[in-house]
């Protein structure tokens, strides 16, 4: 297949799979298969930069960082919505509409979930995405085109040819799972977690460096256009179906409601559904379906008359702030936790709430003895919304972050520009316990039976003080734990035994070294190949590894400079714990350094399979023969590539020789 055709075929396939995944929620290939196609496109485009087009899926990855955001004036203002909270409010909204229109018959409405994210406008010119902007104050927003392009759910080109300019509006948001993962990473790198999906979406989009946005799991739902009349649609429901046809994700819970009864029923249905959704919604938007009626109803100053946002009743309550506890995490981060007079919030008793960090304490100006408004959204940890200042009588006491660790009394430090205060004593008992809990947890070595409760007991009893103690546990000690017996003790010992040769990367993650998450640990494993080599790591070696930065390197070196850490590793080896490399070394894969070009058809396996094998074995694929090429694989009916290879004196392999090289037996 000619090169240009292959490139456009790859783009077509990649766009199709993105559409199936993000818009239709029905993927047909695995992530790995997608990555292979994507890599092939990247390779071909790298060899032929002149063939790169702005709507190629490869063009999502980032672009150069900006120094500031440009302003964008919205041709048609992006309005806000009025709120309704009860069924009565909904009825009043509908009555106002009938009165305004002087109409008595039923009016059809469209109901849509109200996403908790950030409103954006996407501009498509002749089908091509040319601009993205935030809502801003409704009139002027920020230009975030490069950031918007990184969101895989947003098509770079519409799926149907469409002349002229189309301004599409919708919500960028983050799914709960994506948010949880992001917050884990935030904590791991010493940054404060995002309090809710809206902050996370806004914080991710408003990044001057689009490469950061690209790493954030952002999604998108379209809910309208700036000027519906130009679409030829007569109503909102028809418009949403057009947007879906154009390839934009449209929320599947959208309904056309012929009567007001359908609207209120829909609200109750959505209220029930909301907690089973993978993303947060904070209500439902009701819109008059007909664009002709919308036009007649018009807008008030900031919101249209034809739409309203029905907010779900927030699960809130007031109570008293009795005390603030300071908890010390695995990496020494000190988190303030509010101790509250127990109160029922939406049917659940709440006596603690997270305060995230010191900045949050300050921002909310909380004082001991305050009456506070608390809320519980979905399954998230309850939080304090604000202190009710009117209820103060002067006896309230301001709250200070401790200057020493509440557990080990070591002085604590809040580094410049960081939100998190930390205890930097690596031997702090609180950190040691958290490290032990992490070591055996699912995120660590995943030792069945040794969950959080068990580790807490073992630590308190002084049976397990450090990681090696886990591997010298005796049956008698385990049997005596609360709720344990002979059988559970035996099972736990077997689980411990089974983890004595963990993959090196897993083991490094389990140690809980700051900034060493799964990815970094994987890089360390393939670079060092053994624990002994890792222990002797030098700064220069660490910095050589692509993907390991200053912070991680510094943290690893600090760990390796700690006598007690080294002693612990030595004791583990004495106890028969031998982490082993499971990933091939980056340098000794059989085809490392090979740059392979295929020419002519292969009989025994498909070209794609062959390429996949080469890549798996560490080789690179190129499309044309150049000086860099090391091997040319000649199948049947070869062409000019073979001639070129011969001219340049490259190694030419027959299919049989190639198969022997990749060790796939001949059919």
Contacting positions for ligand IVH (CB under 6 A): 79-81, 112, 114-115, 119, 135, 171, 223-224, 285, 304, 307, 309
The H or E element containing residue 407 is none
- ∠ CA(383), CA(386), CA(387), 5° rounding? 120
* Least distance from ligand IVH to the Cβ atom of residue 223, Å: 4
- ∠ CA(343), CA(347), CA(349), 5° rounding? 35
Sign, Cα dihedral of 266, 219, 228, 160: negative
Q: Which residues are catalytic, by number?
A: 114
Q: Considering the complex, state which of residue 138 and residue 329 has its C-beta at the smaller distance from ligand IVH.
A: 138
* Least distance from ligand IVH to the Cβ atom of residue 307, Å: 5
Q: Considering the complex, state which of residue 97 and residue 553 has its C-beta at the smaller distance from ligand IVH.
A: 97
Q: Is 95 exposed, middle or buried (0-12, 13-18, 19+ CB in 10 A)?
A: exposed
* Least distance from ligand IVH to the Cβ atom of residue 254, Å: 8
Q: Considering the complex, state which of residue 223 and residue 658 has its C-beta at the smaller distance from ligand IVH.
A: 223
* Least distance from ligand IVH to the Cβ atom of residue 640, Å: 56
Q: Is 231 exposed, middle or buried (0-12, 13-18, 19+ CB in 10 A)?
A: middle
The H or E element containing residue 330 is none
Measured from the Cβ of residue 156, the count of other Cβ atoms closer than 10 Å reads 23
* Least distance from ligand IVH to the Cβ atom of residue 298, Å: 11
Rounded Cα gap, residues 29 and 12, in angstroms:
14
Measured from the Cβ of residue 462, the count of other Cβ atoms closer than 10 Å reads 8
Q: Considering the complex, state which of residue 216 and residue 287 has its C-beta at the smaller distance from ligand IVH.
A: 287
Q: Which residues pair with 421 in a beta bridge?
A: 334
Q: Are 283 and 311 in contact (CB under 8 A)?
A: yes
* Least distance from ligand IVH to the Cβ atom of residue 271, Å: 16
Alpha-carbon distance values, 94 to 88, 101, 262, 300 (Å) = 10, 11, 13, 16
Q: Considering the complex, state which of residue 115 and residue 445 has its C-beta at the smaller distance from ligand IVH.
A: 115
List all residues 6 or more positions away from 618 whose beta carbon is below 8 Å from its beta carbon.
Answer: 584, 586, 589, 590, 591, 592, 593, 594
- ∠ CA(426), CA(431), CA(435), 5° rounding? 105
Rounded Cα gap, residues 442 and 448, in angstroms:
9
Q: Are 331 and 514 in contact (CB under 8 A)?
A: yes
* Least distance from ligand IVH to the Cβ atom of residue 322, Å: 36
Residue with smallest beta-carbon separation from ligand IVH: 119
Q: Considering the complex, state which of residue 96 and residue 628 has its C-beta at the smaller distance from ligand IVH.
A: 96
Rounded Cα gap, residues 168 and 228, in angstroms:
10
CA nearest 42: which of 2, 64, 11?
11
Q: Considering the complex, state which of residue 37 and residue 285 has its C-beta at the smaller distance from ligand IVH.
A: 285
Rg (CA), the chain: 30
Q: Considering the complex, state which of residue 223 and residue 559 has its C-beta at the smaller distance from ligand IVH.
A: 223
| Length, in residues, of the chain | 667
CA nearest 277: which of 379, 194, 349, 203?
379
* Least distance from ligand IVH to the Cβ atom of residue 641, Å: 53
* Least distance from ligand IVH to the Cβ atom of residue 304, Å: 5
């Amino acid at each position: 297949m000619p090169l240009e055709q292959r490139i456009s075929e790859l783009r077509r396939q990649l766009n199709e799979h993105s559409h199936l995944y993000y818009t239709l929620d029905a993927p047909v290939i695995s992530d790995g298969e997608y990555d292979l196609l994507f890599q092939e496109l990247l390779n071909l485009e790298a060899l032929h930069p002149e063939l790169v087009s702005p709507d190629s899926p490869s063009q999502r990855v980032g672009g150069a960082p900006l120094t500031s955001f440009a302003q964008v004036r919205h041709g048609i203002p992006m309005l806000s919505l009025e709120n309704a909270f009860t069924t009565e409010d909904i009825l009043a909204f509908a009555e106002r509409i009938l009165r305004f229109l002087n109409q008595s018959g039923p009016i059809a409405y469209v109901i849509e979930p109200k996403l908790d994210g950030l409103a954006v406008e996407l501009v498509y010119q002749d089908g091509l995405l040319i601009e993205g902007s935030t809502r801003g104050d409704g009139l002027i927003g920020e230009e975030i085109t490069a950031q918007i392009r990184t969101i895989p759910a947003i098509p770079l080109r519409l799926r149907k040819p469409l002349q002229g300019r189309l301004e599409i509006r919708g919500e960028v948001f983050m799914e709960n799972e994506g948010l949880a993962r992001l917050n884990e990473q935030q904590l791991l790198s010493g940054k404060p977690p995002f309090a809710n999906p809206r902050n996370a979406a806004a914080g991710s989009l408003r990044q001057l460096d689009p490469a950061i946005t690209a790493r954030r799991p952002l999604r998108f739902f379209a809910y309208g256009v700036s000027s519906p009349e130009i679409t030829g649609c007569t109503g909102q429901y028809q418009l949403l179906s057009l947007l879906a046809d154009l390839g934009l994700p449209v929320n599947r819970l959208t309904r056309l409601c012929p009567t007001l009864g359908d609207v209120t029923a829909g609200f109750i249905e959505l209220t029930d559904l909301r907690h089973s959704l993978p993303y947060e919604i904070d209500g439902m938007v009701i819109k008059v379906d007909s664009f002709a009626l919308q036009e007649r109803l018009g807008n008030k100053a900031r919101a249209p008359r034809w739409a309203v946002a029905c907010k779900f009743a927030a699960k809130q309550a007031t109570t008293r702030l009795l005390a603030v506890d300071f908890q010390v995490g695995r990496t020494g981060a000190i988190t303030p936790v509010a101790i509250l007079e127990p109160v029922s919030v939406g049917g659940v008793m709440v006596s603690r709430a997270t305060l995230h960090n010191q900045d949050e304490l300050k921002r909310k100006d909380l004082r001991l003895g305050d009456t506070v408004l608390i809320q519980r959204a979905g399954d998230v940890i309850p939080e304090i919304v604000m202190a009710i200042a009117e209820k103060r009588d002067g006896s309230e006491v301001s709250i200070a972050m401790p200057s020493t660790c509440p557990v080990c009394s070591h002085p604590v430090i809040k580094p410049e520009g960081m939100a998190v205060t930390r205890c930097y004593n690596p031997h702090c008992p609180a950190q040691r316990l958290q490290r032990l809990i992490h070591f055996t947890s699912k995120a660590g070595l995943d030792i069945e039976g040794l969950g959080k409760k068990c580790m807490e007991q073992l630590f308190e009893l002084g049976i397990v003080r450090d990681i090696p103690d886990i591997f010298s546990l005796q049956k008698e000690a385990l049997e005596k734990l609360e709720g344990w017996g002979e059988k559970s003790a035996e099972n736990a010992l077997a689980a411990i035994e089974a983890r004595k040769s963990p993959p090196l990367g897993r083991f490094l993650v389990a140690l809980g070294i700051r900034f060493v998450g799964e990815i970094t640990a994987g890089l360390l494993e393939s670079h060092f190949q053994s624990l002994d080599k890792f222990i002797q790591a030098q700064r220069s070696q660490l910095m050589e590894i692509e993907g390991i930065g200053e912070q991680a390197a510094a943290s690893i070196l600090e760990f390796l400079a700690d006598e007690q850490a080294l002693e612990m590793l030595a004791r583990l080896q004495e106890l028969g714990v031998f982490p082993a490399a499971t990933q091939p070394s980056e340098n000794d894969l059989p085809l490392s350094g090979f740059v392979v070009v295929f020419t002519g058809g292969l009989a025994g396996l498909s070209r794609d399979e062959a390429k996949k094998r080469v890549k798996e074995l560490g080789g690179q694929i190129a499309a044309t023969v150049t000086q860099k090429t090391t091997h040319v694989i000649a199948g049947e009916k070869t062409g000019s590539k073979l001639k070129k290879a011969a001219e340049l004196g490259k190694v030419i392999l027959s299919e049989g020789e190639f198969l022997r090289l990749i060790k796939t037996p001949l059919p």
